[in-house]
Amino acid sequence: MTDGWTLLDSHGDRVSLSLATRTGVPVVAKLYPSGEGEAAYANMQELWRSSFGERGRPPGLPRPIDYLPDIGVLVMERVEGRPLAGLDLSNRALVEGATRLVASLHRCDARPRTRRDWTRIVRSVARKADRVAGIV
């Protein structure tokens, strides 16, 4: 921890910082310099209001708190856990839990404002698979 913050992750054009609010609530601030933060925040809000979010036990994502457009920062609650890309693929229980979480995301009643076509989804999955392959 340095001056009240910790660098959690940095990949591509995004940096994630672990912070605490003035009242001591632990949060994560994700910097979106490319202007994608507003859409990410809107999607998180939609998911939070769905069966995947606040109604889920436990919720499937951190609660979105705010988006600060002036500086391109999305603020969300800090939760315990690791990103999927950092998952130990040799740990069967972790992989099964992650699989259940992804399945619950796809079953939820959230309706995002924009939907990607299958070609964009396949490209995104391929990029993520390359990242995961670089880790293991």
| Domain range summary for the chain, segments of one domain joined by + | 6-135
- Of 51-60, 100-109, 125-134, the poorest mean pLDDT is in 125-134
Q: Do the beta carbons of residue 75 and residue 65 sit within 8 Å? A: yes
CA distance 90 to 32: 32
Number of helical H runs and strand E runs in the chain: 3, 5
Q: If you ran DSSP here, which 8-state letter would residue 62 be given?
A: P
Which pLDDT score, from 0 to 100, does residue 11 have?
56
Write the pLDDT tens digit of every residue in 109-124.
988 776 667 787 788 7
Instruction: Classify strands 26-31 and 6-11 as parallel, antiparallel or unpaired.
Output: unpaired
Write the pLDDT tens digit of every residue in 48-88.
999 999 998 889 999 999 999 999 999 999 998 777 777 78
Q: Which 3 state secondary structure label does DSSP give 9?
A: strand
Write the pLDDT tens digit of every residue in 2-57.
445 555 555 556 788 999 988 999 999 999 877 789 989 999 999 999 999 999 88
Q: Residue 1: pLDDT band by 50, 70, 90 thresholds? A: very low
